Chain A
Amino acid sequence: AQSVTQLGSHVSVSEGALVLLRCNYSSSVPPYLFWYVQYPNQGLQLLLKYTTGATLVKGINGFEAEFKKSETSFHLTKPSAHMSDAAEYFCAVSDYDFGNEKLTFGTGTRLTIIP
């Protein structure tokens, strides 16, 4: 069974500061990993994903994440926070290649940007 743990349900950073949102996963097979962003009353937008290949993945809006197998982590970072980054962020895992294409989501992290 696969699972995702997001440490910190709420994260606050100052505008211009580093954003770090933590995600650890559990999977019995090589995982596919995703970060999604959700704005109030909206669906989810894909920020980035890791499937195979390069472990440092760059996404939209200046976000990036690094897959670390030894740490079973896929933390999301952005060098300089912008007010528009305030939203809910979800990490997700899938065992797609092994017949299980369901996405399992973490509990989410609400990012607040302090002016």
Chain B
Amino acid sequence: GAVVSQHPSWVICKSGTSVKIECRSLDFQATTMFWYRQFPKQSLMLMATSNEGSKATYEQGVEKDKFLINHASLTLSTLTVTSAHPEDSSFYICSARRDGGGYGYTFGSGTRLTVV
């Protein structure tokens, strides 16, 4: 149990276009999901906390208008990188916290975004 599916696993897009990344909890409900960014050989940096039915909470320094987060249901959160630029190229990882019945985060498999 506790599987999080992240799609796509990799994507290449042209500079100036937008890219949407999906994060789904397959077998549990997740009121809260998290989006991280990871640069090569570095740790994970929390970008934002996604709450079902409400606005996301962004970490300091993260551009809200560039990284749009939508958490429309208890099993789906999306991250849209708008007007992507090469510096947005990175590995993006989502995680979901299972509601009730214990504590723990489950991570998606990540999305490698390359902006050319």
Contact = CB atoms under 8 A, between A and B. Distances in A.
A108 B65 CA distance: 30
B105 interface: yes
Chain A, interface SS category: strand
B110 A103 contact: no
A101 B97 contact: yes
Given A41-B112, A43-B6, A43-B93, A105 B44 contact: yes
A114 interface: no
A93 B93 CA distance: 18
Contacts of A34: 105
- For chain A, give the interface size range: 20 to 34
Interface of B: 4, 6, 9, 32, 34, 41-44, 46, 49, 91, 93, 95, 97, 103-110, 112
Interface of A: 32, 34, 36, 41-46, 49, 51, 90, 96, 101-108, 110
